[in-house]
Structure 1
């Protein structure tokens, strides 16, 4: 919980587990965003010319706002603190004297320039190597940084998986995760969004211009016969908190209901069984690297006139396999299918066949989902 005390001249945010973190003045100026950055220094400083506000930026993250109090123009309210927290309360208008508990404020996903900027995020890729998708992501560098956003998906202070998000189509390009076994059940938490795309996940609200929101799905799901399709499936998560972390709309695409509940779900279950049975590391622990992606549709039919309904979905995995002979230590597999009603069973294909198929979608060079260790 984060408690906010509001007065006509200032706002104060307090986290119970930390000392006083920041003081906001001039509440009529809603420069409010959320992040805790305990391990990185402040890089750049800008002064807003209209009034004495100081804004700090970290290149790996969205804007981190730090204020200088006008009555003390030489002192930053954060000079003596190592933690920076600024809470986003979009659309909330306080009354004087309010004390507000804000739940679900401990979700700290964030947009970065490169996945490699965050070691705990880099670990979701085999050998730390991201997929090579010409025109989108090449040698770990996003080709159009205004459109494609790498997100390190963090929940309850633990990095859970990584997503590359397309803000034009408002769907993920892919989500990457490590499979280490699965748990049972399915959480019923609300769907969440990534505020960093528009200015820590938080509950889905209206008005997010660069991403899908819950209302996009609520208002159009029956009309288009689609539902929310996970890229990192809840059924592949190894514990309840990781399951909950998959319920962010940056991990979701509009998926044909029959495809999602039929051949795609069957494939997810089959892959899960394959990984549990065959993928063991040197310590005999279950471990596999998985990347699941979506290819946008070129037609003009969109969910709620905003969200692209992908034409194709794909997934690939690679892992060590102790059962293999020494010259075949690694194993890999892939599946893909058209996002439409009536799509048949998605049989296992080779990684090479998947990359060959994706080459037809990316004309500027070869697609490479995993490093060369993985058999094609």
Structure 2
């Protein structure tokens, strides 16, 4: 009997830890830690009120991790591993996270339109942005984890509204797009593996407003950090960037140390390391 009880506890614990996409800690799902260098989750953003940890699940696999700010309805950051693109097309759907509506719902991201059709009368947008929030807003759905840094199906999985922020169209389609392309060239030429964080710093009070309701915060800055490894898994290069989310259309490239100092301006807590040992061997 004791052995049976122990087995039930073990199985129950396993099912609890494998519960789904919205987790209490990224450590709850080991596959989710694969998107952080050496499994180290940064302290940055951990104390964000209402933060949700999303292990982004699509087609029965985990593809990246997102720390999501349910108050501002934008991501604090998305963490991913770079993949060389296979040239697949852009996803035409926009997904939402069912478990931000009800923790008992499915673990996979869903097309927001069809999730709404399947659950009439239930509002999906209390804790996340919806596609209609961006419609006619004047802002792009700016990917944090960019689709161009992945092959299919991971490329498709980046089209979740929990991975985008309202981004100035001029910045998104010009300087930031160029920067992402430069990273693609760098990672393909010099890195056997690359771990990346891309985040947003919310504005004090600048929002997409729908029907007189503040729906989605318009970030003040977009930022990026990366850690590049050789074939033996040793760090060989790192860096980052920040961009004011305006028509200024400028990306400032930074060292990780510079970036940490920049982020420190927006928190009263120590930023800490974005990557283990600051991506140093």
Where does residue 250 of structure 1 map in the other structure? 162
Where does residue 168 of structure 1 map in the other structure? 71
Relative to structure 1, is the Cα distance of residues 212 and 278 closer, same or farther in structure 2, using a 3 angstrom cutoff?
same
Q: 8 Å contact 2:17–2:28 — kept in the other structure?
A: no
Unaligned runs of 5+ residues in structure 2 are 1-9, 103-107, 117-122
Where does residue 318 of structure 1 map in the other structure? 227
Q: Report how far residue 59 of structure 1 moved.
A: 6.5
Q: Distance in 2 between matches of 1:131 and 1:248?
A: 22
The answer on 1:111 being equivalent to 2:16 is no
Q: Which structure has more helix as a fraction of its residues?
A: 2
The answer on 1:235 being equivalent to 2:193 is no
Q: Distance in 1 between matches of 2:59 and 2:231?
A: 33
Q: Report how far residue 320 of structure 1 moved.
A: 1.5
Query: RMSD of the alignment, in Å?
Result: 2.3
SS in 1 for 2:249: coil
Q: Distance in 1 between matches of 2:271 and 2:59?
A: 37
User: What are the Cα deviations for residues 327-352 of structure 1, in whole angstroms up to 9, with x where unaligned?
Assistant: x85210101110111222x2432111
SS in 2 for 1:169: coil
Counterpart selection for 2:34 from 104, 108, 123: 123
TM-score by structure 2 length?
0.83
Relative to structure 1, is the Cα distance of residues 195 and 307 closer, same or farther in structure 2, using a 3 angstrom cutoff?
same
Larger-Rg structure: 1
Q: Report how far residue 201 of structure 1 moved.
A: 1.1
Relative to structure 1, is the Cα distance of residues 162 and 210 closer, same or farther in structure 2, using a 3 angstrom cutoff?
same
The answer on 1:191 being equivalent to 2:94 is yes
Relative to structure 1, is the Cα distance of residues 115 and 340 closer, same or farther in structure 2, using a 3 angstrom cutoff?
same
Unaligned runs of 5+ residues in structure 1 are 1-39, 44-56, 62-108, 138-142, 281-286
TM-score by structure 1 length?
0.63
User: What are the Cα deviations for residues 192-237 of structure 1, in whole angstroms up to 9, with x where unaligned?
Assistant: 100101212111146221000111112x32xxx2110001100001
Relative to structure 1, is the Cα distance of residues 171 and 322 closer, same or farther in structure 2, using a 3 angstrom cutoff?
same
Where does residue 58 of structure 1 map in the other structure? 16
Where does residue 41 of structure 1 map in the other structure? 11
The answer on 1:371 being equivalent to 2:279 is no
Q: Report how far residue 60 of structure 1 moved.
A: 6.4
SS in 1 for 2:86: coil
Where does residue 201 of structure 1 map in the other structure? 109
Where does residue 92 of structure 1 map in the other structure? none
RCO higher in structure (CA 8 A, sep ≥6): 2
Counterpart selection for 2:254 from 339, 349, 357: 349
Q: Distance in 2 between matches of 1:261 and 1:331?
A: 27
Q: 8 Å contact 1:312–1:338 — kept in the other structure?
A: yes
Aligned residues: 253
Relative to structure 1, is the Cα distance of residues 217 and 370 closer, same or farther in structure 2, using a 3 angstrom cutoff?
same
Q: Report how far residue 110 of structure 1 moved.
A: 1.2
